Amino acid sequence: MRILPSSRRRAVARLVDRQLDTDPTITRRVATIVAAVRQSGDAALLRYARKFDQLSGPVEVTQEEIEEGLRGLDPDLKRALRSAAANIRRVARRQIPRGWRTEVRPGVNIEQVVTPLDRVGCYVPAGRYPLPSSLLMTAVPARVAGVREVIVTCPHPDATVLAAAAIAGATRLYRLGGAHAVAALAYGTATIPKVDKIVGPGNAYVAAAKAQVAATCPIDFYAGPTEIVIIATGGNPTWIAADLVAQAEHDPDARAIVVTPDEGLANRIATAVAERLPADGPARASIRANGVIVVTPSIDAAVELANEIAPEHLVCDRESVARRTTKAGTVFVGHYGAQAAGDYATGSNHVLPTGGAARSRGGLSASDFVHVHSVQRLTQTGLAGLAPTILPLAEAEGLHAHAESVRVRLSRNRKDKA
């Protein structure tokens, strides 16, 4: 793991610059797949499913299969899934925006109305292993928000995914993955219903497909390789190294970064990482390519750099530091704040923004599954009271018909009133 002084400005700037270089080959391939599914529906969808997902049987998993997956699951694993789901539900209930009504002035009432989306699509990856935790993190908040239909796609759903679907209350589950699954959810086919929003992580093809359909079907956010930044003022270097390696095992492109003002600690962390790295695999590739420890002149500089990176996961050992880290998908505080706890069990969502997107938003939540709109109620008195504000502004903007639409209502001419 490289140790980098913060004086190496160009190298540090590369940590902050997260402009994702989309592989043009992937972009073209995904565009072809998305267009084919949009135009040809099931014919293209099933062709790609057989080619990429090795689909040989029915595309939809039956309710009986889902229930059997739950019944046949190891009891300890079943309890773990139920416990995780319960924690996610508890947090999600607090995330739903509330409706309200207020009187702005006499005769002018504004109401906020919150309604759940009708149907959402949850993408569940299945690369080296299926990820039932991702199903819980997407489907459970949707259900808590009141979404009627929760459609799940997973290219290779095993018993754990089936059990998670049952526990989360998924409506339907399809053996589909990749760009063709995203396109089917966005545009609908005879087999797959069109959804109001697509959420969930995936590989580069899934991310590219989500980006391409986003103009037609809303998505949660564009997700790139996973990342962790640890601000370390002290602590156990072995524990810190364990968190870095844990994050790196997700993907060879994952980024694991430590920012610390303590050069001695930096050296001890680097040694501990080297001792814990497996001989091969994604963790080793990730650490060798993207593992960095930045030594800063002060803790203030460390916090500033972390906020500039705006990472998916931020870990720090002090409450005072946590209060100043305002740009992150999620923040873990304290020596026992293992990032893996958030992946599975704390109830906070693990579907998080990457690539600097945490500058403007946090992770997936129940609020992503509702529609919020306003209802405006005006009486004659209310409109008359607003006229001195409306008319000068409309005239100044050259929108004379806007002004006239108010004047005509307030005219004393009996004919106009009628």
pLDDT single digits (tens) 339-352 = 999 999 999 999 99
Residue type at position 148: R
Closest CA relative to residue 338, chosen from 221, 183, 228, 220: 228
Residue 18 pLDDT: 63
15 confidence band (pLDDT: 50, 70, 90) = confident
227-231 β-sheet, strand order: 2-5, 291-295, 255-260, 227-231, 313-316, 330-333
Q: What is the amino acid identity at position 123?
A: Y
Domain spans, the chain: 2-20+224-347, 24-220, 379-417
For the chain, the average pLDDT equals: 94
Q: Under a CB-based contact definition with an 8 Å cutoff, are residues 195 and 186 in contact?
A: yes
Assigned token pair, 124: 């569940």
Cβ 287 vs Cβ 272: under 8 Å:
no
Residue 82 has pLDDT above 90, yes or no: yes
User: Tens digit of pLDDT for each residue in 131-175?
Assistant: 999 999 999 999 999 999 999 999 999 999 999 999 999 999 999
- Collapsed DSSP state (helix, strand, coil) of residue 2: strand
Point out the catalytic residue in the list 64, 313, 397, 404: 313
Higher pLDDT, residue 9 or 333: 333
Q: What is the DSSP letter of 8?
A: -
User: Given 312, 335, 397, 400, which residue is catalytic?
Assistant: 312
When comparing pLDDT for 5 and 171, which is higher? 171
Given a contact cutoff of 8 angstroms between Cβ atoms, the answer to whether 296 and 261 are in contact is yes
Q: Phi and psi at residue 222, in whole multiples of 5°?
A: -75, 125
Q: Tell me the whole-structure pTM to 2 decimals.
A: 0.93
Q: Strands, DSSP E only, in 255-328?
A: 255-260, 291-295, 313-316
| Region of poorest pLDDT, from 67-71, 127-131, 404-408 | 127-131
pLDDT confidence of residue 281: 92
Structure tokens at 171: 């409506």
* Average pLDDT estimate for 245-260: 93
Kindly give, in sequence order, each residue whose CB lies less than 8 Å from that of residue 307, ignoring residues fewer than 6 positions away. Answer: 324, 325, 326, 327
Mean pLDDT in residue range 118-122: 98
H/E run at residue 136: helix 132-145
pLDDT, mean of residues 293-306: 95
Q: Is 312 a catalytic residue?
A: yes
Q: What is the pLDDT of residues 190-248, one digit of tens each?
A: 999 999 999 999 999 999 999 999 999 999 988 788 999 999 998 899 999 999 999 99
Average pLDDT over residues 185-192: 98
The CATH number given to 2-20+224-347 is 3.40.50.1980
170 conformational bin, left if phi > 0, alpha if psi -120 to 50, beta if neither: beta
pLDDT value, residue 414: 45
Q: Reply yes or no on whether 319 is catalytic.
A: no
C-beta of residue 229 within 8 angstroms of C-beta of residue 12: no
Question: Coil, helix or strand for 351?
Answer: coil
2-20+224-347 shares its CATH topology with 24-220: yes
CATH fold label, 24-220: Rossmann fold (3.40.50)
β-pairing, 119-123 vs 100-105, is unpaired
Query: DSSP letter at 169?
Result: T
pLDDT at residue 39, rounded to an integer: 97
